[in-house]
Amino acid sequence: MSDLRELYQQVILDHNKNPRNFRRLEGANRTAEGHNPLCGDQITLYVQIQDDVIGDIGFQGSGCAISRAAASLMTSSVKGKTRAEAEDLFHAFHKMVTTEREAAGDPRALGKLAAFSGVREFPIRVKCATLPWHTLRAALEGKGQKVSTE
């Protein structure tokens, strides 16, 4: 288990250092902003939806290592997915970081997103990890509003 934990930590460090999809997306038809006042994380999400599929996605912002890595991994995992599939991932991810280990099931089913399974032990960090997902939801709903974890 400690090997796995170390691997997860490396995934988070890597995505914090070299965030994927860290760019303003020209041609985005959905955007949303997210803010986690507890930690100071800010994210702007750019989504290009075509025929109900997330064709491209990018983000910008500033925040802690967890929020940055979470945004990087979130954008990587939902690219090419339908809105319904992205919604399913949101629920699976949310469950993984907010419920007891036994109830949450096997985090490895979530692929690289499993790197955040340890976050549930640090409740203050849960909002950092879920901020990009809440922001994605707001963007997909097309509200164009600011979301806050508060």
Q: Is 41 in the site for Zn ion (CB under 5 A)?
A: yes
Q: Quick one: 20 or 127, whose CB is closer to Zn ion?
A: 127
Nearer to Zn ion by C-beta: 47 or 69? 69
Contact in structure between 102 and 109 (CB atoms under 8 Å)? no
Nearer to Zn ion, 36 or 117 (CB): 36
By CB under 5 A, residue 78 contacts Zn ion = no
Supply the minimum distance, in Å, between the C-beta of residue 131 and Zn ion: 7
| 128 lines the binding site for Zn ion (CB under 5 A) | yes
Binding status of residue 67 toward Zn ion by CB under 5 A: yes
Q: Is 65 in the site for Zn ion (CB under 5 A)?
A: no
For position 64 contacting Zn ion by CB under 5 A, the verdict is yes
CB of 108 to Zn ion, least distance (A): 25
Residue 39 touching Zn ion (CB under 5 A): yes
Number of residues that bind Zn ion (CB under 5 A): 5
Could you give the C-alpha distances from 5 to 11, 57, 89, 114, 141, in angstroms and in order?
10, 28, 21, 10, 34
Residue 37 or 111 with smaller CB distance to Zn ion: 37
Cα(100)–Cα(55) distance, integer angstroms: 34
Q: Which residues sit at the interface with Zn ion, rule CB under 5 A?
A: 39, 41, 64, 67, 128
